[in-house]
A and B are shown apart, each in its own frame.
Chain A
Amino acid sequence: MIDIVINPNYCKGCSICIEFCPKHVLQPSQDINAKGYFLPEPVDIEACTQCQLCVIVCPDLAIAVTPKEKQGSRNARK
């Protein structure tokens, strides 16, 4: 089961994760946080390959994706 969690306290709605996801899993949503930022939401979790690219490029450490199994997950960050 893949979890894609966006922290509403840290996300600033910059959309970099949306742009970088190679599988277009994330899209802007109408969800607005306390600071007035529109949060992204995963619209196609099945397409997620757990590459962790969104996690790596986020300027605010605001997104987390279930890592791949130990030997697999290292490949994403060699």
Chain B
Amino acid sequence: MLKHPMLEYIKEEGPSGMRFPHILCPGCGAGQVLNYTLHAVDDLIKEGGAKKENFVFISGVGCSSRLTSHYLKFDSGWTLHGRSLPFATGALLANPDLKIIIFTGDGDAAAIGGNHFIHAFRRNMDVTILCVNNGLYGMTGGQVAPTTLPFANTPTTPYGNIEDPFDLCKLAEAAGASYISRWITAQPMQIIKAVKKGIANKGASFIEVLSQCPVHEHETPVESMNALKEITVPVKKAEGSGKIPVGELHYRPRPSWTERYESVIEKANEALS
């Protein structure tokens, strides 16, 4: 039977039972981000000569982070809420040749993970971050997040959200990320291209994907994806539109942390001669 091409990279079942389909809800944007990422990685392996065993997927905790639990036919680590970046940092310190892809969510990255987020960018650690931003805490029931729009009703803002959201891409830029782009889930080709660019960029690549959460938004997946189209605009047309800009927002490549640490090793050894 004809199979989806990316199932080549999925552990559909194991000795303890079936693993696919994944646990995410029908129409989940995180599932789409997995599909896009695997397409990008597949291209890099088959066309770009990248070694499959060098790819490592690391995630924190949340819906998008669930993708690395037991599905991937890659090395992976399903780590602690908010801490995927320091785990990735450790892996790079041990082996800078690893190509690390991080799945995170808006709560995982910007609330509990906020501190690690800004430092990984400041250090320009060589990671590619897919931040599936649905503006809420999906796994735990839809609570308000640092990215929730004002006035929203959520289980913890039953009288309306009185806080303003982060602009994660601006935060990433201020912190020092070298490649930043934002897309919506309805832009598959652009996301695949962005993931490839992120991996090729030797430094911190932040790819924010605004995503639908059909269950907590009480809409169909298609309705929710269309709503995201309504509130976004290509970056070149963003000025004065009052909408969220999507596209490539920032690209300033510079040496990654591990590249710079080579000079530390050199100095430490020169001093001994």
List the interface of chain A (C-beta within 8 A of B).
3, 5, 7, 9-10, 12-16, 19-20, 37, 53, 55-67, 77-78
Chain A residues near B34 (CB-CB < 8 A): 59, 61
Q: Pick the residue among A5, A14, A20, A57 that contacts B26 (CB under 8 A).
A: A14
A6 to B116, CA, bound (A): 41
- Tell me how far the C-beta of B227 lies from the nearest C-beta in chain A, rounded to whole angstroms: 13
B60 contacts the other chain (CB 8 A): no
A45 to B45, CA, bound (A): 31
Q: Which of B150-172 contact A (CB under 8 A)?
A: none
Known: A37-B26, A77-B43. A60 touches B31 (CB 8 A): yes
Chain A residues near B39 (CB-CB < 8 A): 56, 77
In contact, A56 and B27 (Cβ under 8 angstroms): no
In contact, B192 and A63 (Cβ under 8 angstroms): no
Chain B residues touching A, range: 35 or more
Please tell me which stretch of B17-25, B86-94, B122-130, B262-270 contacts chain A, meaning at least 4 of its Cβ atoms lie within 8 angstroms of it.
Answer: B17-25
- Tell me how far the C-beta of A27 lies from the nearest C-beta in chain B, rounded to whole angstroms: 13
B28 contacts the other chain (CB 8 A): yes
Q: Pick the residue among A5, A13, A57, A64 that contacts B32 (CB under 8 A).
A: A57
B238 contacts the other chain (CB 8 A): no
In contact, A5 and B43 (Cβ under 8 angstroms): no
Residue of A nearest to B29 (CB): A59
A14 to B28, CA, bound (A): 9
5 tightest A-B contacts by CB?
Answer: A59-B31, A14-B27, A12-B26, A61-B4, A14-B26
B231 contacts the other chain (CB 8 A): no
- Tell me how far the C-beta of B195 lies from the nearest C-beta in chain A, rounded to whole angstroms: 12
Chain B residues near A78 (CB-CB < 8 A): 189
List the interface of chain B (C-beta within 8 A of A).
1-7, 10, 20-22, 24-32, 34-36, 39, 43, 185-186, 188-189, 192, 214, 220-222, 225
A58 to B29, CA, bound (A): 9
Chain A residues near B21 (CB-CB < 8 A): 9-10, 12, 60, 62
- Tell me how far the C-beta of A18 lies from the nearest C-beta in chain B, rounded to whole angstroms: 8
- Tell me how far the C-beta of B72 lies from the nearest C-beta in chain A, rounded to whole angstroms: 12
In contact, B221 and A63 (Cβ under 8 angstroms): no
B39, B186, B221, most chain A CB atoms within 10 A: B221
Q: Pick the residue among A16, A37, A67 that contacts B221 (CB under 8 A).
A: A16
Q: Pick the residue among B7, B20, B35 that contacts A56 (CB under 8 A).
A: B35
A65 to B5, CA, bound (A): 9
In contact, B188 and A57 (Cβ under 8 angstroms): yes
- Tell me how far the C-beta of A52 lies from the nearest C-beta in chain B, rounded to whole angstroms: 8
A17 to B25, CA, bound (A): 15
- Tell me how far the C-beta of B192 lies from the nearest C-beta in chain A, rounded to whole angstroms: 7
In contact, B10 and A61 (Cβ under 8 angstroms): yes
Q: Pick the residue among A3, A7, A16, A55 that contacts B5 (CB under 8 A).
A: A55
In contact, A61 and B26 (Cβ under 8 angstroms): no
In contact, B4 and A77 (Cβ under 8 angstroms): no
A62 to B27, CA, bound (A): 12
A37 to B6, CA, bound (A): 22
A77 to B5, CA, bound (A): 13
